[in-house]
């Protein structure tokens, strides 16, 4: 075979054509190249494929349970609406906020502040997205009828969780800065 580039697949070679000798050798190596072949065909590890298939099975089971339900159309409309809203508003907004957070790259002691803001902000935003109807008391009759609970405490609880997440992140950031500075002096 002609000279090969570093990291080239021994079965495919540099030209993209399959080398029959290398293919025969690859099948006799005890199956070690099966993972490499799957990675070349699928684009990810076998574990990723198993996880995706498991998710698809759970989704198929959920849809099969909803087929007799009158809420299937509402769920479908909500799902399509959520996908469109994410593409038009959510994704660009997240990218814009993340671009602003990039200004917080490295501060005290060489420790990046950006992830100490990004993580609690992301978790808080996800909680707000999931619980918006009850946090802002927009589903009082439905929520009360289904759960027997009042919506009043949800806004306060969300604010407390958000403050707690940022406090925990700030404490972790302070600890990391302190450790980085003590390492510099040692």
pTM of the model: 0.56
3-state helix vs strand vs coil in the chain, percent to 5: 75, 0, 25
pLDDT digits (tens, 9 = 90+) for 156-176: 999 999 999 999 999 999 999
pLDDT digits (tens, 9 = 90+) for 91-103: 898 888 888 877 7
Please give the span between the terminal C-alpha atoms of the chain, in angstroms, as a whole number.
55
């Amino acid at each position: 075979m002609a000279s090969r580039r570093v990291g080239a697949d021994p079965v495919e070679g540099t030209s993209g054509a399959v080398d029959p000798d290398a293919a025969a050798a690859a099948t006799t190596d005890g199956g070690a190249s099966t993972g490499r072949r799957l990675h070349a065909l699928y684009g990810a590890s076998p574990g990723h494929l198993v996880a995706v298939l498991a998710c698809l099975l759970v989704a198929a089971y959920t849809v099969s349970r909803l087929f007799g339900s009158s809420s299937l159309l509402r769920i479908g409309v909500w799902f399509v609406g959520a996908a469109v809203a994410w593409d038009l508003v959510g994704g660009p907004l997240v990218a814009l906020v993340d671009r602003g957070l990039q200004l917080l790259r490295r501060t005290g002691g060489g420790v990046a502040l950006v992830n100490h803001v990004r993580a609690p902000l992301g978790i808080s935003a996800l909680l707000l997205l999931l619980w918006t109807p009850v946090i802002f008391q927009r589903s009082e009759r439905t929520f009360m009828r289904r759960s027997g609970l009042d919506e009043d405490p949800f806004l306060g609880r969300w604010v407390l969780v958000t403050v707690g997440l940022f406090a925990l992140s700030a404490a972790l950031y302070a600890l990391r800065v302190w450790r980085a500075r003590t390492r510099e002096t040692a």
